[in-house]
Amino acid sequence: MAREKNEPAPMFTQLGLIGCGLMGGSFALALKRAGLVKRVVGYSKSPTTTERARALGVIDVAAESALLAVSGSDIVLIAVPVAASEATFKAIRHLVEPGVLFMDVGSTKRDVVDAARRALKERVGSFVPAHPIAGKEVAGIEHADALLYSGRQVILTPMLQTDPVLLQKATDVWSAIGSQVLKMSPENHDAAFAAVSHLPHLLAFAYFSSVAKQPAGKDFLSLAGPGFRDFTRIAASDASVWRDILMSNREEILKQSQRFRHQLDALEHVMKLGNSEALEDLIRSASQARSGWQMGAPNKSGGSR
């Protein structure tokens, strides 16, 4: 899937950026750094944010509307909270023209694809849904980072109608900024990320609250060590971003939570029985599997991609 080294880099005249936050800003900086774009026109709902993005040099021109950010662009990145996707598609639909690459960066894909179908109708083929597996616990344009996507996976979830030329362009531009591109269906994407990203966030929020909210919580927190620190790191994630993700993918997340509860029940059951051997077996199977896991390691079994 990687681009050949000697192929000319894809080049765009103008990136229209809708949503000047961490994700959008980092994409703009990455394209600029790689010399892939001449000009970035940006729009954010808050004029202060748009102005800050301009002052920081993340965008070159501030647009007064999403539609104006699209006007004249040959690549458009929609980097808004997933719940705002449909309104954004509606706002720009008159300028969604063939040959212009439209992408998003949302952590859920079924809802975004559905919103795109509803709002863009016959123009939906210009939209290539994208989810870069990257982020920080801090949000906002001031944390934008040209290297945020470098060495990270990006999942594209094309529809039947997706223009294959634009899908290739999308693959090329992410590859050119150092990402590894994978393709899967929106359904498989949402099931996978409910399991490996959304549920852990939900559990981390629940766990941190359960400690912090108890009477001796402050005392307990002052004793916590490095295991606790790493386990709860994602509990510091942005509340509005995660509200949207948990809400829009809740069906899959609740299914994954059921699986988790079954495992927790099994562990607690053997603890209550005092069955040390069974407890050790359950722990060992988790411990060995985790020891053998490596981030970004290709799945040798083949599978659903």
- 278-297 positions binding a second copy, by CB under 8 A: 279-280, 282-287, 289-291, 293, 295-297
In angstroms, what is the minimal distance from the CB of 40 to a second copy? Answer: 26
Q: How many CA within 13 A on the CB side of residue 102? A: 28
Q: How many CA within 13 A on the CB side of residue 168? A: 8
- Does residue 180 belong to the site contacting a second copy (CB under 8 A)? no
Among residue numbers 85 through 144, which ones bind a second copy (CB under 8 A)? 133-135, 137
- Does residue 8 belong to the site contacting a second copy (CB under 8 A)? no
Q: How far apart are CA 149 and CA 135, in angstroms?
A: 8
Specify whether the CB–CB gap between 22 and 141 falls below 8 A: yes
In angstroms, what is the minimal distance from the CB of 45 to a second copy? Answer: 17
Site string for a second copy, 143-172 (x = CB under 8 A): ---------xx-x-----------------
Q: How many residues bind a second copy (CB under 8 A)?
A: 99
Q: How far apart are CA 151 and CA 196, in angstroms?
A: 19
Specify whether the CB–CB gap between 43 and 50 falls below 8 A: yes
In angstroms, what is the minimal distance from the CB of 76 to a second copy? Answer: 25
Q: How far apart are CA 279 and CA 300, in angstroms?
A: 30
Which CB sits closer to a second copy, 6 or 258? 258
- Does residue 269 belong to the site contacting a second copy (CB under 8 A)? no
Among residue numbers 207 through 246, which ones bind a second copy (CB under 8 A)? 207-214, 216-240, 242-244, 246
The span from the first CA to the last CA of the chain, in angstroms, equals 12
- Does residue 197 belong to the site contacting a second copy (CB under 8 A)? yes
Residue 127 in tokens: 């939209």
